[in-house]
Structures are given as C-alpha cells and as structure tokens.
Amino acid sequence: MAITTTKSAYRKGLVDAAPFILVIIPFSSLFGILATEAGLSVFETLAFSVVVIAGAAQFTALQLMQEHAPTAIVLASALAVNLRMAMYSASLTPYIGAAPLWQRALAAYLTVDQSYVCSMAQYEKEPDMTIPQRMSYFFGCVTPIVPLWYLFTLLGALLGAQIPESWALDFALPITFLAMIAPMFRTPAHVVAAVVASVAALVTAGVPYSLGLILAGLAGMIAGAQTEVWLESREKGQAG
C-alpha cells in the first residue's frame, strides 16, 4: 500500500523495523553485560550506548579496552568501524537533505544500520514520498529500535554476571549483521566487497589490537570500488 500521509509513513516505519527487535534486545543486553564485566559502571555503560549508539563500534572499543590497547588505537578502530555512517549520511542526503535543520540533526544522531536499511529500501520503492513523509518513516523506524537499545543496555548492565553463560547471547551479533547486510547485496560489487573483506579479516586475524578489521574493511571497499569501475567500463565498451 502506497504511503499517503505522514501518519501512515510513521506506522509503516514502525512495522518495517519491528523485526529487528528480536536481535536488538539480546544484542544490547549482551553489551550491557560485557561492559560491566569489563569494569564499567552501570552509568558508564548506559552513557556509552546513549552517546555512541553504534553497536559494532561499541563492541570493538570494549574489546580493545579489555586488551589494554592505547587510547588512540581504541578511538581509531571505533571510528573506522563507524565510518559507514558517513556513507549512510551521503546516501540519505538526496532524500531528506531538504528537511528542517532540527530534523536532520536528530536523524544524524539516530542513523543506525536498521534505520538506514529500512529507509533506503522504502525511499527507492516510493520515490514520490514527500520530505515530511520520508522523515516520518525514518522516525518510525527508530522508534522500536533506539529506546530498546538504551533500555536493554541498562538491564544488561544491572544483571551483569547474573546471566548464565549457557544462554550464549553472543549469537545476536552475527545474526544482526547478516539480517542487515543480506538485502544490500544487490550488485556484483557488493558481493565482491563482502567476500574480499571476509577473507582479509581471516588472513589478518592475528594483527594486534584487532587492526586487521580496519585492513579488511579497506580491502573490501577498494575491491568493491574497482569492481564497479570495471563493470561500468565494460558496459560502456559493449554499448559502443
């Protein structure tokens, strides 16, 4: 059903993002548990999630902090993991760049993997949506995600070591990323980037301070970009 009002856009955003609740809850709980086990207080753990609001970067920083990595390495690694947010913002700008400043500022803070994936899919599906409708949809997407991220980070921090290890909550991390990236494999370049990054991550697994992740990410981006260039030149050659 096509979106016709801001209210229907908001409701559709809620519905589209709702399935992510199933992994956001254990994912944020796991972070809260591990953060307190690593020595952070409940307040510090909650502040971590509120300020950073980026699960992958938070887990990366937490792991490096546990390994007593230098502060510069912790910050650089977390920033590298979160650089995808800059690409997300660039992709969203053509769709919501004309929104009021306060809405764009709020959207910048609330841009997470789930809100980006859902929003881009919807905007491409219905390119005639108005700016207010697009913003309503975006905020609908984050409504079931962000508050639960805060809440279950707090609950995880409060529970801490009381959660049995047999629960194996760490399953949420790979499932979350698989659920988010699978719909984005739309071109050969995407697939090449993912494969190269995965292989590079395995090869560089022994690099100190998890810097192999940065190298793997760079390798994936370069491979994907080169694949796009090659495919474009091939299409032009065939057209000529």
Tell me, yes or no, whether 77 and 158 share the same domain: yes
User: pLDDT averaged over the chain?
Assistant: 83
Tell me, yes or no, whether 122 and 237 share the same domain: no
**CB-based contacts of 135: which residues, under 8 Å, 6+ apart?**
6, 96, 99, 103, 107
Give me the mean pLDDT over the 84-104 stretch.
91
Query: What pLDDT score does 181 carry?
Result: 59
pLDDT digit string, tens, across residues 163-189: 565 555 555 555 555 555 565 566 787
Instruction: Provide the token pair at 185.
Output: 């494999």
Tell me, yes or no, whether 205 and 119 share the same domain: no
pLDDT digit string, tens, across residues 126-137: 999 999 999 999
SS3 27: helix
Tell me, yes or no, whether 74 and 120 share the same domain: yes
Query: What pLDDT score does 137 carry?
Result: 95
Confidence band of 97 (pLDDT split at 50, 70, 90): very high
Domain boundary among 163, 178, 193: 178
Query: What pLDDT score does 102 carry?
Result: 95
pLDDT digit string, tens, across residues 193-206: 888 888 887 888 78
Give me the mean pLDDT over the 8-15 stretch.
93
Q: How far apart are CA 197 and CA 213, in angstroms?
A: 8
- The verdict on pTM exceeding 0.75 is no
Instruction: Provide the token pair at 206.
Output: 């022994």
Query: What pLDDT score does 167 carry?
Result: 58
Higher-confidence position of 163 and 89:
89
- For tokens 């053509």, name the residue: 94
- Tally the domains of the chain: 2
Please check whether residue 1 lies inside any domain of the structure.
Answer: no
Range of the domain at 222: 185-240
pLDDT digit string, tens, across residues 99-117: 999 999 999 999 998 899 9
